[in-house]
């Protein structure tokens, strides 16, 4: 099966999209945080807790699919990469701006600040 072509981002185009990415992420985070409070107040092993955990997974999955549809690569909860052809512009909630880069092999731990 052939993989679809990946989107390549310039720093300018990635930063232009960041407002939308932040808004969508903020909404998902808010939904999940409310559910985490409910989950933590519900006993382990109960159907109610399982339902809340399923809801959390659904929200996170919906967010990930939305990021994928924008051409981003989801690397973890509320963490996305913008592929620029040489590596990634890297953003993680709740960062205000897109100011980090890492190569294809370095991952999040190898992020460096964009000058």
Question: Contact 112/102 with Cβ under 8 angstroms?
Answer: yes
Which pLDDT does position 1 carry in this prediction?
47
Q: Provide the residue range defining the domain that includes 19.
A: 11-113
Domain-embedded: residue 2: no
Which pLDDT does position 2 carry in this prediction?
46
Domain-embedded: residue 58: yes
Parallel, antiparallel or unpaired: strands 79-83 and 112-113: unpaired
Sequential DSSP letters for 9-43: --HHHHHHHHHHHHHHHHHHHHHHHHHHHHHHTS-
d(CA 4, CA 6): 6
- pTM across the whole model: 0.90
Q: Report the number of distinct structural domains present in the chain.
A: 1
Domain-embedded: residue 3: no
Which pLDDT does position 109 carry in this prediction?
92
Domain-embedded: residue 51: yes
Domain-embedded: residue 4: no
Domain-embedded: residue 91: yes
d(CA 98, CA 101): 9
Residues with pLDDT less than 70, the chain: 1-5
Which pLDDT does position 114 carry in this prediction?
96
Domain-embedded: residue 33: yes
Domain-embedded: residue 44: yes
d(CA 115, CA 109): 18
The 3 state secondary structure assigned to 40-75 is: HCCCCCCHHHHHHHHHHHHHHHHHHHHHHHCCCEEE
């Amino acid at each position: 099966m052939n993989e679809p072509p990946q989107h390549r981002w310039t720093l300018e185009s990635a930063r232009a999209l960041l407002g939308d990415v932040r808004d969508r992420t903020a909404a998902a985070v808010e939904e999940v945080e409310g559910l985490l409070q409910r989950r933590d107040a519900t006993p382990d092993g109960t159907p109610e807790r399982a339902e809340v955990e399923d809801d959390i997974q659904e929200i996170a999955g919906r967010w990930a699919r939305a990021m994928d549809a924008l051409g981003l690569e989801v690397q973890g909860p509320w963490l996305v990469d913008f592929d620029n052809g040489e590596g990634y512009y890297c953003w993680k909630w709740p960062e205000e701006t897109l100011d980090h880069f890492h190569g294809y092999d370095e991952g999040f731990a190898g992020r460096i600040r964009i000058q």
